Structure 1
């Protein structure tokens, strides 16, 4: 995370168009987005100070300066939270010297029980790297024909970006890839394992990953609808809801059909007959 505060500010400055802040674009601009001097003027800080921040030579901006920079850069709520987190990480680095948050790969028994209790809906558990730590039987039937569970230790981010089958199965592949990279970046939290994983993706995948990672996205959707071309039952639309297990730094995602056709297709995939009775324990 060294220098990440400055890199994040620079990425947002370069992504902001002059007309978004009421400035003329002009024909002679040689830099993407806004110039440092323009952001400094909008935030009422010196160009020298903004340069020090972006170059990582100063990592202790006051809350007031952070707020002014966030306003000048037109940051949304997710970007503002991430900026505050980066400033907090930098300012408290010495208090936590030598300590790095570990990537969680242990699944609590109660979480496994919850997954098993979801008998009719695909559900799975991810850690911050996108490792698929646990899943239930409906998700196994849904994901295994896609090739997602082929690896001994499956990883959703790696599958989406490095496995060509993902582009075939997910019509909205680009949006889904954006979301997964945003989650990877948002949950980075100073953990070197994330940077090592990102380097592996960069070497293996190249530009489709690199361009997304360099944009430093952090706004990921915790719910929505995903379209899927399933090789066994055809098109599916699945509404998903993601729950954060903050203490474990894990995410539990549950999917359910978003329309009647998808409900019927999911029933066929899971071997269920609509309207049939099933026994309930207890």
Structure 2
């Protein structure tokens, strides 16, 4: 990450935010104290963030600042990327899929089937899944569920969002680092729509049931694959 890019971005957004009164000020936007009050943090801590002496704010702090600054969805994504860039380390690649697993997917056509990591990454899928999933280049079911396109694609979005959050929470609680990292990302980029569901999870996600994808009502079953990676195969029947 460029030197103190996170601090500069936070200060720029603070100075671009309309202050609570219309009196003339020497400096534009919100004062540090005003933003600190809105976000529920101390002025001293906000100062450290803006000056770059603290570059590891928690997800809760970042969400509070994003809300206080009324950040757009794109600005939230940029905020997350700035934090991620400051802690860049390449995750280990997932274990490869066995040829027999790939052959099973081929045999399942025309069902909409896929193989998922615990964090919801799509490692492989059938052509039918690719056609009707609505992912449009996204490779993670959980991230897609909290994207701008998800509600239009899923008529029962509330239920699906609950299930995706529960799936991610279960994986993160079991120590999956990719799931925990995605939860941190979505707490910033999706905000309360994700965090309220994630924090309220009280049960495991369903392994079978029905979901609506566009005009399709799909019944699904989930099968956990033996071996390294803790992958699961999810099969949707049209």
Q: Structures share a fold, TM > 0.5?
A: yes
SS of 2:104's partner is helix
Q: Determine whether 1:109 maps to 2:125.
A: no
CA distance in 2, matches of 1:103, 1:172: 33
The residue number in structure 2 matching 1:253 is: 234
Give the CA RMSD over aligned residues: 1.8
SS of equivalent residue, structure 2 residue 114? strand
Q: What secondary structure does 1:164 align onto?
A: coil
Q: 2 CA distance for matches of 1:111 and 1:227?
A: 26
Structure 2 partner of 1:72: none
TM-score by length of 1: 0.48
The structure showing larger relative contact order (alpha-carbon pairs under 8 Å, at least 6 residues apart) is: 2
Query: Deviating runs (4+, > 3 A) in structure 1?
Result: 102-105
Cα distance, 1:252 vs structure 2:
0.5
Instruction: Using the TM superposition, give the Cα deviation of residue 246 of structure 1 relative to its aligned residue in structure 2, in angstroms.
Output: 4.5
Q: In structure 1, how many angstroms separate the alpha carbons of the residues matched to 2:93 and 2:159?
A: 25
- TM, length-normalised to structure 2: 0.57
Change (3 A) 1:125 1:246: same
Aligned residue number for residue 199 of structure 2: 214
Q: 1:179 aligns with which of 163, 166, 177?
A: 163
Query: In the alignment, which of 171, 181, 185 is matched to residue 196 of structure 1?
Result: 181
Query: Is structure 2 residue 220 aligned with structure 1 residue 240?
Result: yes
Displacement of 1:214 after TM fit? Answer: 1.2
How many residue pairs get matched? 145
**Which residue number corresponds to residue 127 of structure 2?**
137
Where structure 1 has 5 or more consecutive residues not aligned to the other structure, the ranges are 1-101, 230-234, 258-282
Provide structure 2 residue ranges, at least 5 long, that are not aligned to the other structure: 1-91
Q: Which residue of 2 aligns with 1:225?
A: 210
Contact 1:130 1:157 in 2 (8 A): yes
Q: Distance in 2 between matches of 1:216 and 1:245?
A: 25
Q: Distance in 2 between matches of 1:170 and 1:192?
A: 28
Q: Secondary structure at the match of 1:187?
A: helix
Cα shift readout 1:257-282 (whole Å, capped 9, x = no counterpart): 2xxxxxxxxxxxxxxxxxxxxxxxxx
Distance of 2:93 and 2:206 partners within structure 1: 22
